[in-house]
């Protein structure tokens, strides 16, 4: 594939990404993509032969960008508590739809397609996040900022809560207060000198 092709493919993926953000996954048709990209019907099929294929590419791209997000937070000179706070802040922004996101499309996609665990992006991201949180908590415990007897369990609990919140946000909407409340709850659990 030529350099130009690569560029165009990237352009399509990025344009499509916007559409998926806006309309979710299931509603998007090849026609939508074609129109948004201002290319011909056949032209699109040169690169992707279904919205599924296209969305999977969007996902792949997303993943590449995503990996460093966490690292950015961590490499900074900050206490575990600060990093955690930052992490929650970031999550909160997304939960409240302050920044447009693929969230809804991603869930629709995974509802519509049974993806085996091995390649399941959702699972991978979840597990990765649990791993980072666990380390963060352990570091906090070490420094006596946190108190926690089961860091991995706690990390998982946090992630499931966040997933629950995300779903709530997409299916009913959620108030800032509600998000804060949940974040406070898990934070307090860590800080509590019990």
Partner DNA sequence: CATGAATGAGAGTTCATTCAT
Partner DNA sequence: GATGAATGAACTCTCATTCAT
Distance CA 140, CA 47 (A): 47
Distance CA 154, CA 184 (A): 14
Interaction of residue 172 with DNA, rule CB under 7 A: no
In the list 36, 39, 121, 161, the residue contacting DNA (rule: CB under 7 A) is 39
Contacts of 68 by beta carbon, 8 Å cutoff, 6+ apart: none
Give min distance, CB of 46 to DNA, in A. 5
Q: Which is nearer to a copy of itself, 72 or 100 (CB)?
A: 100
Interaction of residue 7 with a copy of itself, rule CB under 8 A: no
Tokens of 51: 């919205």
Q: Which is nearer to a copy of itself, 81 or 168 (CB)?
A: 168
Interaction of residue 40 with DNA, rule CB under 7 A: yes
Distance CA 3, CA 142 (A): 50
Q: Which is nearer to a copy of itself, 5 or 75 (CB)?
A: 5
Distance CA 145, CA 137 (A): 9
Residue 176 CA from chain centroid, whole number: 19
139 in Cβ contact with 151 (< 8 Å): no
In the list 10, 14, 18, 43, the residue contacting DNA (rule: CB under 7 A) is 43
* Pattern 73-112, a copy of itself, x by CB under 8 A: -------------------------------x--xx-xxx
Segment near a copy of itself (CB under 8 A); pick from 46-54, 67-75, 129-137, 166-174: 166-174
Q: 10: closest CA among 45, 47, 41, 43?
A: 47
Structure-token match 């344009």, residue found: 15
Distance CA 155, CA 111 (A): 25
Footprint on this chain of DNA (rule: CB under 7 A): 1-2, 4-5, 8, 29-31, 39-43, 45-47, 49-51
Interface with a copy of itself (CB under 8 A)? 24, 26-27, 104, 107-108, 110-112, 114-115, 117, 120, 122-123, 126, 150, 153-154, 156-157, 159-165, 167-168, 170-173, 181-182, 185-186, 189, 194
């Amino acid at each position: 594939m030529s350099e130009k092709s690569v560029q165009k493919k990237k352009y399509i993926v990025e344009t499509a990404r916007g559409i998926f953000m806006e309309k979710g996954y299931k509603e998007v048709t090849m026609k939508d993509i074609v129109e948004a990209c201002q290319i011909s019907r056949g032209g699109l099929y040169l690169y992707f032969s279904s919205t599924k294929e296209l969305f999977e590419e969007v996902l792949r791209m997303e993943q590449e960008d995503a990996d460093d997000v966490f690292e950015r937070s961590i490499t900074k000179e900050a206490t575990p508590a600060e990093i955690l706070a930052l992490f929650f802040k970031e999550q909160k922004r997304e939960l409240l739809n302050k920044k447009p996101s693929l969230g809804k499309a991603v869930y629709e996609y995974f509802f519509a397609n049974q993806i085996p665990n091995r390649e399941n992006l959702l699972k991978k991201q979840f597990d990765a996040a649990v791993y980072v949180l666990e380390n963060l908590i352990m570091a906090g415990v070490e420094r006596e900022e946190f108190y926690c007897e089961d860091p991995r369990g706690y990390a998982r609990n946090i992630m499931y809560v966040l997933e629950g919140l995300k779903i709530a946000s997409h299916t009913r909407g959620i108030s800032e207060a509600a998000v804060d409340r949940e974040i406070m709850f898990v934070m307090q659990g860590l800080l509590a000198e019990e």
